[in-house]
Amino acid sequence: MPEIRERGAASAEGEVAGFLSGLRASPEGDLFEAGRRVVAARAPGRLDVMGGIADYSGSLVLQWPIREATLAAVQSAGGPGLTIVSRAIDEGHPARRLEIDGPTTRELLDGGYEAARRWLSRDPEAHWASYVVGVLAVLHRERGLTLGVDRGLRVLVESKVPEGKGVSSSAALEVAVMQAAAGLLGESIEGTEVARLCQMAENFVVGAPCGIMDQMASAVAKAGSLLALLCQPAEVKGYVDLPPAIGFWGIDSGIRHAVTGSDYTSVRTGAFMGYRMIAEAAGLQASATSEPGVVAIDDPRWSGFVANLTPAEFDREFASKLPATLAGAEFLGRFGGTTDRVTRVDPSRTYAVLKPTAHPIGEHARVRRFAELLSAHADEAALREMGELMFGSHASYSSCGLGSDGTDLLVEMVREAGPARGLYGAKITGGGSGGTVAILGRADAGPAVADIARRYAAETGRTPYLFEGTSPGACHFGTRSTEG
């Protein structure tokens, strides 16, 4: 679909050019010093078409880079310290500014991830800056690239990726800042490494147990194509060009999180508990590690990823061996821990195990079939099957406790409209429990999607955000600079 790809790239180019040219005239114009180089980068959000939370279990995922992106501009300063400014988006998202002096900056970068996380979590009003500081801390510790200590750093971010809608606003922020910071230092970091480092920032400094899918999509996706990513841990399998007759949209449900649903972290933990129990049942050897609650498993059968089980193999050999729920204390007493370095089993909690473990196994199979159908230039029968795969993914999320009334309503509206209106499938995206629903339809189904958004608003009183369009990942776009 070259025309879409070209439009997305051209739009991104103009967006960054306008961002740079307007720096001095903006309300934040005093942030940057005239005559000193400014480097800017741009990273898009993503629409999770298939795969979602199965990324941390090794599934194949299919991700669509959206039009909305985060822009970051950086400039070195004479004295040490950090100044981070987030530009106002609207009345609900005012401008934010955080200044960190030189000695504190050194402590944050040299003191380790946990120390930085503790410092940034002291003030909830400063939490937004943890994504930026986390990126700088990871560059310092993992790559030896230091900014803000011997010479200071000024950072301006402007995000057009809506927050809390499940389209990876945090990953877009991290990737944009890392690209800009590396560009300022004259360093080139390969796309997969950018994603890995940004995931570390979110896991260990921000404290969010995300997989690598979001950062990979923001970094290496191509406009007009689905990124096919095998999360074992981050292997780009290719780019699936979208046939001209097919389109993807996203409708935000207006729900940031469903209070009654299971939280993402407990579902992730339950999946890793299930893998540990499957490995035990299969006779695989487990050993303790230096990290409390973390074990290592010698796994030549599934390479450490529960998604590598086939659904038939799981149903035949292991499903009956997993409990629906299990107390954390009992699990730790029997199995010692999981292979997940990001989460820990809480002995005081009870976790769902069977459904969170079954989900990535079924999802991996669904995603592979979806990619096969799309790559074969999908006809009407294939579109209908792809739609059913999306509906199946949505139902599986709900079985894990990650659904919501709003997303369920949107999916049902798409199902009711059906092929007669050019719509074939829909599913909840990302971490679930609200957020955005991805929709598959014919390329001319935009009016039907807009109609569903209007009906949803009328029935719920929520004003949905409609995602359409595409743009390039940060590493394909590169950086742009000005003398300020």
CA-nearest of 266, 260, 157, 275 to 209 is 266
The single-letter DSSP state of residue 122 is S
Which amino acid would we find at residue 344? R
| Cis bond upstream, residue 65 (ω within 30) | no
Contact by Cβ (8 Å): 59, 364: yes
Quote the crossing angle between the two packed helices 213-220 and 169-184, to the nearest 10°: 50
> Any residues with CB less than 8 A from the CB of 361 and at least 6 apart, and which?
57, 306, 307, 309, 310, 311, 314
State the Cα–Cα distance between residues 274 and 282, nearest whole angstrom: 12
Q: Which residues are catalytic?
A: 214
What residue ranges in 225-358 does DSSP mark as E strands?
Answer: 225-230, 235-241, 246-252, 285-288, 295-298, 325-327, 350-352
At 394 the three-state DSSP class reads helix
State the Cα–Cα distance between residues 386 and 240, nearest whole angstrom: 14
Pairing state between β 423-428 and 436-442: antiparallel
DSSP for 396-438 reads HHHHTT---HHHHHHHHHHHHHTGGGTEEEEEE-TT-SSSEEE
Contact by Cβ (8 Å): 190, 198: no
Measured CA distances, 27 to 87, 97, 121, 283, 368 (Å): 9, 12, 28, 63, 48
Rounded to the nearest 10°, the torsion over CA 206, 57, 69, 386 is -160
